[in-house]
Amino acid sequence: MPTSPMNSAAEHNITLEDNVAPPAAETDAPPAAETDAPPAAETDAPPAAETDAPPHEQSDVDRDSLHILPLSILPVETPALRTARLIKNVRLDSVVEFFADESAGSGQMDIESLGAEFEWPADPIHPDLTLLRKLALLPSYDVYSLRILLRDNGIEVNSLDALKLSKGKSTELSAYMTAFTRPLIVQVYGNEDVNIQSFEDIIALFREPDIKKAREKLKIMAAKLEVELEDVPKFLEDYGDIFLSLSYYRQCLDEIAPIITAYLDAMEELRRNWQLRHDVNLMKTCDMMQSTINGLMVNITGRFENFDRSTMDMWNNISAKRFKRVEDLIQSYHTTIGGVLCALSVKMNAWARLFPDKDAGGPVRRSEFIMSEMKQGIEKIQTIEDEAPMLSALD
């Protein structure tokens, strides 16, 4: 079994691809700042598995990704798989990635080839193969989708902490979170209390040395939310977690939106190319992809707008019961939004790597990549959309 790019990939049936997922390497970015944001709610996560396997560090890149699932967080039996990752490639197929390197590329293996590689028996089916087949069908590997999908599939995780965003990402999303946390502060405490100006200020009440002072402020929140005082911590945990998930998805959309625009512009240029505009299959593919992507963008932005309206209604008369309805609505779309964003981000980032600007690559090369890679698996995104709950459910 290869442990590095230096091994012969061919003799292990590993294909070398351009990096479709960033390697879990160290970064020059500054260390993540500490944050007082509440921990992710654990009630929606699958149970933690009991395992004697030595832990492998989960990188922040893997933890915060839409399309990377480090197998170290799951109870796999095969040692060589514990350092591998399951990733979505540009065709939206799930493959096992054993190494990723800027110079060597990405060493990938099809799931169905693992049996021969590790000499697993055909009968009974090896537990790792059963597990990977289930995981391959999941539309997204972001932590919020995984909490739901792993639980629904009866798949345990080695640690519940594995299904939380990194501290760095949580801090990075603070600007998005303000839009959700500031209205809560105003509704509960108004603008007069200068000591309660942020969500972190509320969390700090639990560390307040003046217990009487902290208790009075928390009583105000409990009364406003129509809950018992002891239920306030759970409310805050759930509130912070659900709106952190929404902030995460919004950021993912914001990051790929410019690439989508550039991609649609590139297809328009191909339509005007004197040589390629007579290629009937290419033109049909461009039309299909443009229609699909535009439809996906309309749907996903429409859902965010519906979430905003529901949240605004909640803030107009805040209570724990009203929050629970909004929380349930947002969670019901986690796997849909995560799946669509996962697919779009994989494809758009692959395009951006090959064609970082409008002058990179010629029309022929772009058209070939569209036909050979970009259109492959596009029907999987539509399937995710077709299985989504009705938008009217948000009203």
C-alpha–C-alpha distance, residues 71 and 88, integer Å = 14
Long-range (24+ apart) CB contacts under 8 A made by 269-278 are 269/358, 269/363, 270/363, 270/366, 270/367, 270/370, 273/363, 275/363, 275/364, 276/363, 276/364, 276/367
Backbone angles phi, psi at 110, to 5 degrees: -65, 140
Please answer whether residues 65 and 141 qualify as being in contact, where contact means their C-beta atoms are separated by less than 8 angstroms.
yes
Match 């299959």 to its residue by tokens. Answer: 281
Distance CA 27, CA 169 (A): 14
Q: What is the pLDDT of residue 18?
A: 58
Structure confidence at residue 45 (pLDDT): 60
pLDDT of residue 44: 57
Q: pLDDT-derived band of residue 274, with 50, 70 and 90 as boundaries?
A: very high
174 C-beta neighbours (distance < 10 Å), count: 17
Q: What's the whole-number mean pLDDT along residues 30-45?
A: 44
Q: Where are the domains of the chain?
A: 10-165, 171-231, 243-394
Span 24-36, average pLDDT: 40
Q: Which of the two residues, 144 and 315, has the higher pLDDT score?
A: 144
Lowest mean pLDDT among 84-93, 305-314, 338-347: 305-314
Residue 30 has pLDDT above 50, yes or no: no
Mean pLDDT for all residues in the chain = 85
Residues linked to residue 68 through DSSP beta bridges, in sequence order: 87
Contacts 24+ apart (CB under 8 A), 364-368: 364/275, 364/276, 366/266, 366/270, 367/270, 367/276, 367/279, 367/282
Task: Give the contacts of 128 (CB within 8 A, at least 6 positions apart).
Answer: 76, 77, 78, 81, 114, 120
Q: pLDDT tens digits, residue range 119-133?
A: 999 999 999 999 999
- Would you call 88 helix, strand, or coil by DSSP? strand
Instruction: In whole angstroms, give the CA distance from residue 223 to residue 211.
Output: 18
Q: How far apart are CA 255 and CA 246, in angstroms?
A: 14
What are the CA-CA distances from residue 392 to residues 94, 312, 324 (Å)?
32, 17, 18
Q: How far apart are CA 354 and CA 337, in angstroms?
A: 26
**Helix 334-354 vs helix 378-386: angle between axes, to the nearest 10 degrees?**
160
Residues sharing a CB contact under 8 Å with residue 218, sequence separation 6 or more, in sequence order: 205, 229, 232
Query: How high is the pLDDT of residue 203?
Result: 78
* Burial of 274 (C-beta count, 10 Å sphere; 0-12/13-18/19+): exposed
Among 124-128, 210-214, 226-230, 365-369, which stretch is predicted with the lowest mean pLDDT?
210-214
257 pLDDT tier (thresholds 50, 70, 90): very high
The separation between CA 164 and the C-alpha centre of its own chain, rounded to angstroms, equals: 11
Higher pLDDT, 165 or 185: 165
Lowest mean pLDDT among 6-15, 165-174, 192-201, 340-349: 6-15
Question: Region 5-24: what's the mean pLDDT?
Answer: 48
The terminus-to-terminus CA distance of the chain in angstroms comes to 53
pTM here? 0.84
